Amino acid sequence: MARALHRRSAHATGPLIQLDCAAWPDSLLDTELFGGARRTGSFGLARGGTLVLAEADKIAPAVQSKLVLALKNQQPDSPKAVRVMCITASRNPLS
């Protein structure tokens, strides 16, 4: 489903990056999403494309806050805005 949405979007020429949030412990998910001193995170790798977050209900509240800021193009750690279409999925109902 995410691949079809990506192909039919304005972001189709950009990369499609998929991240299983349940596969990462809270302490590493932030770095996997946003990167660190030596590597680009999934959010940056998806620049101009689509970021798919599977099991989004597993994202810790602190990382959720940072993600919301990044999606508003106000990245807390960088003055550069990143344009990304973000698709989230969960097996559990979200409230």
Is 88 within 8 Å of 56 (Cβ atoms)? Answer: yes
- Identify the DSSP state of 91: S
The string of pLDDT tens digits covering residues 9-63 is: 988 999 999 999 999 998 899 999 999 889 899 988 998 899 999 999 999 999 9
Give the sign of the dihedral formed by CA 25, CA 26, CA 28, CA 34: positive
Q: Check pLDDT > 70 for residue 2.
A: yes
Q: E strand or H helix at 34, and its extent? A: helix 26-34
CB distance 57 to 92 below 8 Å: yes
Look at residue 79 and tell me whether its pLDDT is greater than 70: no
Q: Would you state the pLDDT for residue 78?
A: 59
Can you give the pLDDT at residue 80?
Answer: 62
Q: Supply the DSSP symbol for 37.
A: S
